[in-house]
Amino acid sequence: MSLGVISLKTVSSGIYSEMYMKHASITDVPGIFVGHQTNIEAATGCTVVLCEDGAVGGVDVRGSAPGTRETDLLRPTALVSEVHGILLSGGSAFGLAAATGVVRYLEAEGIGLQFGGATIPIVPAAILFDLGLVRGDIRPTADDGEAACRNASDSPPAQGSVGVGTGATVGKMLGMHRAMKGGIGTASISLGNGLILGAIVAVNAIGGVYKASTGSILAGPRAEDGNTILDALNVAISPPLQTRQPASASNTTIGVVATNATLDKAQANKLASAAQDGVALAVRPAHLMGDGDTMFALATGMSDASVNMNGLLAAAAMCVSDAIVNAVIEAESLGGVPASRDNSRK
């Protein structure tokens, strides 16, 4: 059975003109702010998506090894519907501590639910595993979460090896010595009538990353020569390579889709579910036993334009796919793991 290969040089050339002409981001959605906190020396970090005026939230947890906080309250049957921020963090389960800093920042700003005389910010969170790429004893803390909030703005956020994407890697089916660099990326699309949808995604997957429009492989498990990317789908089903696939829960793709449309909680959860289709378009295979794939959705309700829900769902899949591609294209080598853009290697 053919493994399907493509040279790194071929992958790295011919994509830059499209990459650098594209500046759309989740912050194109009015009321959405993004901030990164990066520790490049430890290869970890966190990213916060703030919606200080509140937004209806939804979530879809598709992977089998998730690390999350406050996802139950996003279900349609839960009482609370208003969300004030989403934290995406490295550091595995330790990184969930960074959400405390986001809550602390928002409380100090007077942002949150008013209940019992207290201001209670609602900040769901998800984490990815980046421990050990450079070191595993430094993880995002509450102070890092608060710093990410202070860094937040409505300008297009940096992409690649920053924030939660700092230590992200992909294509780990044959082990870390065959992996490539992941990262964080963003994209947006206008749906007309003033409706906008954007996505920001951190990709740290077992599988490879593909460009949906062409099917080309951008990053994935590398062959022994170190310069050839294998088709991750074929690697997954081709003996005897399948016996070498890691079983550890050290991978995930996490992100947020946001829109200024007016949605209820059921619709927001459906939007988060459609965002997972974008993960499957760009990450192949996705949603494996060692992945913790989690997508959040935010609807700010700043637009009262009528919503074509089918169009919104399709836009979510498209934006998430594009954001994942941007994450890998913008990523830089770190900890000995090469990036897609490293076309100078022979």
pLDDT digits (tens, 9 = 90+) for 206-251: 889 999 888 889 998 888 888 888 888 788 777 665 445 554 556 8
Give the pLDDT score at 1: 33
Q: Which helix (H) or strand (E) holds 297?
A: strand 294-299
Pick the CATH number of 5-330 from 3.20.20.120, 3.30.1330.10, 3.60.70.12, 3.40.50.300: 3.60.70.12
Q: Which helix (H) or strand (E) holds 190?
A: strand 183-192
Of 167-176, 226-235, 331-340, the range with the lowest mean pLDDT is 226-235
- Tell whether omega for the bond before 285 is within 30 degrees of 0, i.e. cis: yes
DSSP-assigned beta bridge partners for residue 283:
209
* Residue entry with tokens 């409706």: 195
Q: Write the pLDDT tens digit of every residue in 315-330.
A: 999 999 999 999 999 9
Q: Write the pLDDT tens digit of every residue in 29-83.
A: 999 999 999 999 999 999 999 998 999 999 999 877 788 999 999 998 888 889 9
> Within 10 A of 118 (CB to CB), how many other CB atoms are there?
9
Give the pLDDT score at 289: 79
Q: Which helix (H) or strand (E) holds 234?
A: helix 232-237
Give the pLDDT score at 4: 43
**How high does pLDDT run on average in the chain?**
87
Q: Which two tokens stand for residue 215?
A: 């099917």
How far apart are the C-alpha atoms of 123 and 41, rounded to whole Å?
A: 27
Q: Which helix (H) or strand (E) holds 247?
A: none
* 261 contact partners, CB below 8 Å, separation of at least 6: 195, 197, 299, 301, 303, 305, 307, 312
Tell me the pTM: 0.89
How far apart are the C-alpha atoms of 28 and 34, rounded to whole Å?
A: 11
Check residue 163 and give left, alpha or beta (phi > 0: left; psi -120 to 50: alpha): left
Q: Does 28 have pLDDT greater than 60?
A: yes
As a whole number, mean pLDDT of residues 132-138 equals: 89
How far apart are the C-alpha atoms of 302 and 322, rounded to whole Å?
A: 24
Give the pLDDT score at 343: 53
Q: Which two tokens stand for residue 249?
A: 């829960």
Question: Are 260 and 196 spatial neighbours (Cβ–Cβ below 8 Å)?
Answer: yes
Q: Where are the domains of the chain?
A: 5-330
How far apart are the C-alpha atoms of 234 and 221, rounded to whole Å?
A: 11
Give the pLDDT score at 249: 54
